[in-house]
Chain A
Amino acid sequence: MNTAKQYRSGLVENFDLYAPKLVDKEEYFAAGHRACQGCGEALAIRLMCKALGRDTVIVNATGCMEVISTMYPTTAWKLPWMHVAFPNAAAVASGVEAGLKVLRRKGKIKDRYVKTVGIGGDGGTVDIGLQALSGAMERGHDMLYVCFDNEAYMNTGIQRSGATPFGASTTTAPPGKASRGNRTWKKNMPEMMVAHNIPYVATACHSYPIDFMNKVKKARSIKGPSYIHCLSVCPTGWRCDSKSCIKMGRLAVETGAFPLYEVENGKYRLSADMPETLRPLEDYIKLQGRFRHLTPDEIGYFQERVKLEYKKLMTKVKSSR
């Protein structure tokens, strides 16, 4: 089947049906920021903000999104927004949440519910920000944390992170005579969050906007900690066409490289957008320069491991029924 046609039907159908009614017309993350062409992370943030609405405070870790959106004296943010450093978005958000709570209790600010939302890239979340995030989740702050996972430290020039997939070429994991790119398997961050026993964990991708926004809305409604891991395509870092951003996200999901699911109070559920059968992984990786050097054997290993991880996930999904 012609893939382009398939995307058009899937995506646009959904939008015709839901978008006009459900999606906030207001832009809280304004155009004119300095993200690269075809940036999935900026799109995801725009969608997230629409789902969150105005009674929200955003705490941003250092990274691409902070840099492209707040070049003084300009700002793309129409929501109250704070950035302090790279490793501490969840800790700053802890303070914001606690501050708003106590000020509201003491009658020093308006008596209304404002959601605190921490955001960061994969580096700022799964590596250097992991300790702060673990602490914030474990303490049970009423906060949503969204990781925008573009699978490397993009802001500093495509270095590998703990979320970089197997085999990918990065500027610190380059393929060469003695190396085949990134040797490690992507850290399973959503699973680590599940292990914190928080009420809500989900994976998402900007290529499924309605699904992503619904998950953000659900997380917003939970009074307690919640976590969304949003795959965010980075054409610059993945060495793919900037116009392929949406398609690439869908291929990541359809091949099972990045499955969409939710874990509500420990119960796993596959998201509705997951296909019945997974596409071959090659459909996804052959379009990206970062995997160009992989041999058929390596692709074979990659494919088997994706299947294995998917099977592990499905076991959890089935046992949750």
Chain B
Amino acid sequence: MSKRIGMEIALAAAEAAALCRPDVIAAYPITPNTHVPEHLSEIVAEGRLDAEFITVESEHSAMSACAGASGAGARAFTATSSQGLLYMAEILAIISSMRLPVVMIIGNRALSGPLSIWNDHSDIMSQRDIGWISLFAANGQETVDMTIQAFKIAEHPDVMLPTNVNLDGFQLTHVVEPMLMPDQEEVDRFLPPFKPFAALNPDDPVTLGALGLPDIYTEACKSREEVLLNSKKVILEVWKEWEEQFGRKYEPIEPYEAEDAEVLMLTMGSMGETAEMAIDELRKEGMKAGLLKLKLWRPFPFEELKEAVKGAKVLVVTDRCLSYGGAGGPVALEVRSALYEEKKRPVILNYIIGLGGRDVMVDHFMEMIRTAAKADAERPEKAYEIYGVRE
């Protein structure tokens, strides 16, 4: 039976990963994800988990070793942040192209420079188009749950794609929260053993990672796109099973007070919890404000988004990343594209918030929503605004 625990979320993530019985863990230290691999190495050292823990000499090698392990037919896990994710970048898209279902936790952190160990989403957003499934957790419980779900989604025979679970650095990784931790029997019941469709076996030799000439490369891309789009079906199925077994509901976009809302805010990651408090305050004032919490970033839930914003006049999209020289934050770009063809769509505002660990308080969210509420009548001049810049 699940146990109620109070634990630092990074440690809980490691406990959750261990419950999935990974065969190989390869990781390299970088703040703020480091407690995840540290704790896993402890779990292995204590003999609670039978796994090979490879203390690689870089993140490039961490992801490469995961590729090798997965190719050998083993369940492979890693975790990283920021510069580490970028150091892996070369390998990330190769892994999805080879359909190796590696699972990775990303303790999201700003990219240097200037050097910052604090949180935003610029690390994963720079690796947006790599063909991985991307989930975003808003709190400790979601971190634990999504870590376990990630293995089942990634290794589903109709998917076989690497999956990353994003949790905000410090704001989640280093925070102690109460959580329900499933037990081994429950996880074993939920998560079947990994069955690779091709593995490095001398009895049945395969060539993994062949060269693709122009006559095949486009088709390889198309098949990766198809399988990533189709993975949404499996993700929804897995979330349904999770709800049936553990009673906690997951959906691509989780609404909060959204049903009759005229002004909707959209967040991704831990800031959703602060934004909820802002919504509560505004509701008390009589404003019809609501919140959408995006949990599934890739594949992007286009249909669910269209449905969720149907009644709203204004949609405030928050981004913790900026696409320099582009049209704002990556979430807003996606949302605008998703809604562009809709006959009736809300006015969309984009605030870039919380860069490099900048705090965003309840008051700030309230101010953003209040300003946005006026945008229905008065169209905003700018496509986006970096919120709270000190003059």
- Residues of chain A at the chain B interface (Cβ within 8 Å): 54-57, 59, 66-67, 70-73, 75, 77-85, 87-88, 91-103, 105-106, 108-110, 114, 131-132, 134-136, 138-139
Contact = CB atoms under 8 A, between A and B. Distances in A.
A87 B60 contact: yes
A70 B207 contact: yes
25 contacts: A57-B72, A70-B210, A79-B202, A80-B200, A82-B68, A83-B209, A84-B95, A91-B68, A93-B68, A94-B54, A94-B56, A95-B26, A95-B68, A95-B69, A95-B71, A96-B200, A97-B68, A99-B24, A99-B52, A99-B73, A100-B74, A100-B200, A109-B201, A139-B54, A139-B55
Contact of B202 (A55, A101, A102, A132): A55
A103 B56 CA distance: 20
Contacts of A139: 54-55
Contacts of B56: 91, 94, 135
Contact of A82 (B208, B212, B213): B208
Size class of B's contact patch?
A: 35 or more
A154 B49 CA distance: 45
B141 interface: no
B74 A99 contact: yes
A72 B66 contact: no
Contacts of B202: 54-57, 79-80, 114
B222 to A, nearest CB: 15
Contacts of A110: 203
A59 B71 CA distance: 10
B94 interface: yes
Contacts, number: 168
Nearest to A110: B203
B285 to A, nearest CB: 55
Interface of B: 23-24, 26, 50-52, 54-58, 60-61, 64-74, 76, 90-91, 94-95, 98, 193, 200-213, 216
Nearest to B208: A82
Nearest to A34: B211
Contacts of A82: 67-68, 71, 200, 207-209
Contact of A88 (B69, B73, B91): B91
Nearest to B67: A84
A82 to B, nearest CB: 4
A70 B98 CA distance: 14
B55 to A, nearest CB: 7
Given A73-B216, A103-B74, A108-B193, 13 more contacts: A79-B205, A82-B209, A84-B98, A88-B61, A88-B64, A95-B54, A95-B68, A98-B54, A102-B52, A103-B23, A110-B203, A132-B61, A139-B55
